[in-house]
Amino acid sequence: MFEIWLYWLGGAAALVALLMAVLGFRRAARRPAGYQSGPAARWLRFPVILFSTLLFIYIGYVLWKPLPLNLPSQVRLAFDLAGALIYFPALALYLWGLASLGEMFTASSGFGVRLPESQRLVTGGPYGYVRHPMYLAVILAGIGGLLLYRTWSMLIFAVMMFGLVMRARREEQALRDLLGDQWCAYTRRVPAWLPRFARKD
């Protein structure tokens, strides 16, 4: 019973995060584009993003089949708990990053970047610790979700999300081109993926 409630709670949390992201994309699409790069930048429009999201959900539904694992109940419970301890904080980190970006939230892909006309550097919230907290959150959610649900969908999602590293590099290049020295100073101060909690002398 605990396992079932955990699964449903995880699904509801993922839907909330996805809905917030889609609404963010919709708001971003209404703002004038400033800097654009890459061959796919012109495709980063809300109808395309909405269609891609719905297709992604449909494929996930079709492939929502258990992996061929025959785990003892204690091992399954350990996987559930470990997955939940990664998955839920990762979704919270994603929403924190989304809220911190505010109007600077926009769409990008591994092949193109579209930045708003009023682009400014965001350094508050999780962006004071790492440069890509939302991408880190999605990667962690993929790993946690795989441990928690153990389905083909989550396995494919977890593997695919490591492609966000390439997307982050393209975004960094666009931000470097647009913001120049301000971005370079930020990259020297804040790591890309793993936060530094050690105190600087």
d(CA 172, CA 43): 19
Cα 1 to Cα 13, 118, 123, distances in angstroms = 18, 49, 42
Question: How many domains are contained in the chain?
Answer: 1
Give the list of residues 6+ apart from residue 59 with CB closer than 8 angstroms, or none: 153
Q: Which residues, given as ranges, of the chain have pLDDT below 50?
A: 199-201
Reported as a single tens digit per residue, the pLDDT across 137-184 is: 999 999 999 999 999 999 999 999 998 998 899 889 888 988 899 999
Backbone angles phi, psi at 35, to 5 degrees: -85, 130
d(CA 46, CA 118): 19
pTM of the model as a whole: 0.90
Q: Does 31 reside within a domain?
A: yes
Are 107 and 24 within 8 A, CB to CB? no
Q: Does 196 reside within a domain?
A: no
Q: Does 200 reside within a domain?
A: no
User: In the prediction, which pLDDT does 39 show?
Assistant: 65
User: In the prediction, which pLDDT does 98 show?
Assistant: 95
User: In the prediction, which pLDDT does 67 show?
Assistant: 96
Are 142 and 91 within 8 A, CB to CB? no
15: tokens are 């839907």
E strands, 75-190, where?
A: 108-109, 112-116
User: Which region, left, alpha or beta, applies to residue 105 given φ > 0 means left and ψ of -120 to 50 means alpha?
Assistant: beta
**Chain centroid offset of residue 19 CA:** 13
Output the domain CATH number for residue 46.
1.20.120.1630
Q: Which domain holds residue 174?
A: 2-189
